[in-house]
């Protein structure tokens, strides 16, 4: 971009879709958490609503900030982000685990999940490096293997935290960005994809708790009070919602039947209270988001912008697909939050900052299609 040239308008459809998803998330976090919060330690039904509103305000502010910064300026910090990510991923082991998993850095009332940042750092690295590599990306040893090793390294650290879901997201997004970046289809689908898929199957069965999740997913009623409990309660919630739902605030499964209904399984509460129509509305919003993200990537002014937009869009899309698939019983239970909607501060903040970058890319191209 030439100096002195002003950036254009943001993609209004994408901007509106994100804010609508965020608004729905705030409302549903309150609805899903009110019962648990009321009968919890604080005895305050609005406890999670207050926290989510605070994070929503901070996240929108952060999004506006990143939206105003030329996305080209971010790439100069790529190496620093990559270096910083390593000690952050290792630091989680200094803090107590949660259900056997080390994923959080906790400082008083605040907590941070480094893997949420790292997935965007990997995308930034891929976009920057592939853009610099040019036509050399078409060779396997120089254009494909280094990216698999780098992405695999960060995914391995996250896997060590017992977070297979985010590790998988990173590797899937890597494949997508490589494809858009110009890797030969024969290499990507003939060699790389089968290797990544095989690795995913291996790690899914390499640990007892992950293997139990996979086997239980095939028949959750085999252990209805244990491993299959959460999925069965999700089905009850979705089934009882019917076409139009029971109404906002009228969920029965959130009353200590569904564990932490405002987190990973909030989509099942949406189905119970808003019905099939409400679920379809949420899915439609994500489809619109992906459509606009692809449009921005396609019309970006340079290769770096195309790859960066592709990676950011892919992260949100893949997480949404995994979350909805888990809640509906289409894949084994795994801890992936529903972007913009599930309760969580650091995750929401980082996602919205990434959305600011995506909107900045849209400001430097014409995406009116």
Nearest to 25 by CA among 258, 262, 240, 242: 262
Is 323 in contact with 234 (CB distance < 8 Å)? Answer: no
Is 269 in contact with 261 (CB distance < 8 Å)? Answer: yes
Is 357 in contact with 286 (CB distance < 8 Å)? Answer: no
At residue 105, φ and ψ (nearest 5 deg) are -105, 120
3-class secondary structure, 110: strand
- Length of the chain (residues): 369
Left, alpha or beta for 340 (phi > 0: left; psi -120 to 50: alpha)? left
Distances (CA, A) of 334 to 217, 230, 338: 11, 11, 12
CA distance 254 to 260: 8
pTM: 0.91
Q: pLDDT 10s digit of each residue in the chain, 369 long?
A: 444 456 778 899 999 999 999 999 999 999 999 888 888 777 888 999 999 999 999 999 999 999 999 999 999 999 999 999 999 999 999 888 777 778 888 887 778 899 999 999 999 999 999 998 888 888 888 888 899 999 999 999 998 888 888 998 999 999 999 999 888 877 777 777 888 788 777 776 766 666 777 777 777 888 787 778 888 999 999 999 999 999 998 999 988 788 888 988 999 999 999 999 999 999 999 999 999 999 999 999 899 999 999 999 999 999 999 999 999 988 887 778 999 999 988 899 999 999 999 999 999 875 444
Residue with tokens 């900045």: 360
CA distance 20 to 49: 17
Q: Tell me which DSSP letter residue 365 carries.
A: S
């Amino acid at each position: 971009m030439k100096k002195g040239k002003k950036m254009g308008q943001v993609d209004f459809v994408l901007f509106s879709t994100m804010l609508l998803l965020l608004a729905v998330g705030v409302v549903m976090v309150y609805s899903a958490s009110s019962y648990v919060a009321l009968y919890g330690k604080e005895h305050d039904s609005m406890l999670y609503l207050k926290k989510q509103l605070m994070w929503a305000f901070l996240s929108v502010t952060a999004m506006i900030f990143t939206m105003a910064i030329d996305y080209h300026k971010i790439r100069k910090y790529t190496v620093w982000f990559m270096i910083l990510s390593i000690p952050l991923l290792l630091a989680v082991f200094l803090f107590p685990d949660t259900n056997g998993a080390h994923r959080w850095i906790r400082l008083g009332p605040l907590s941070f999940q480094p893997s949420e940042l790292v997935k965007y750092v990997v995308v930034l690295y891929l976009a920057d490096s592939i853009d610099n590599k040019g036509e050399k990306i078409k060779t396997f040893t120089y254009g494909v293997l280094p990216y698999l090793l780098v992405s695999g390294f960060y995914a391995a650290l996250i896997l060590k935290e017992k977070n297979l879901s985010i590790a998988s997201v990173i590797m899937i997004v890597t494949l997508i960005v490589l494809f858009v970046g110009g890797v030969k289809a024969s290499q990507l689908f003939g060699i790389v994809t089968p290797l990544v898929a095989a690795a995913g199957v291996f790690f899914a069965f390499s640990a007892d708790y992950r293997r139990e999740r996979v086997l239980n997913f095939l028949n959750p009623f085999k252990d209805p009070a244990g491993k299959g409990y959460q999925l069965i309660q999700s089905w009850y919630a979705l089934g009882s919602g019917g076409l139009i739902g029971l109404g906002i605030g009228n969920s029965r499964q959130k009353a200590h039947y569904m564990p932490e209904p405002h987190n990973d399984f909030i989509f099942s509460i949406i189905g119970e209270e808003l019905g099939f129509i409400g679920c379809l509305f949420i899915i439609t919003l994500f489809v619109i988001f992906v459509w606009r993200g692809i449009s921005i990537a396609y019309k970006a002014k340079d290769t770096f912008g195309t790859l960066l937009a592709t990676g950011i869009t892919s992260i949100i899309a893949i997480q949404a697909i995994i979350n909805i698939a888990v809640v509906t019983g289409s894949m084994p239970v795994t801890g992936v939050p529903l972007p913009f909607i599930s309760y969580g501060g650091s995750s929401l903040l980082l996602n919205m900052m990434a959305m600011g970058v995506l909107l900045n890319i849209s400001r430097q191209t014409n995406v009116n299609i």
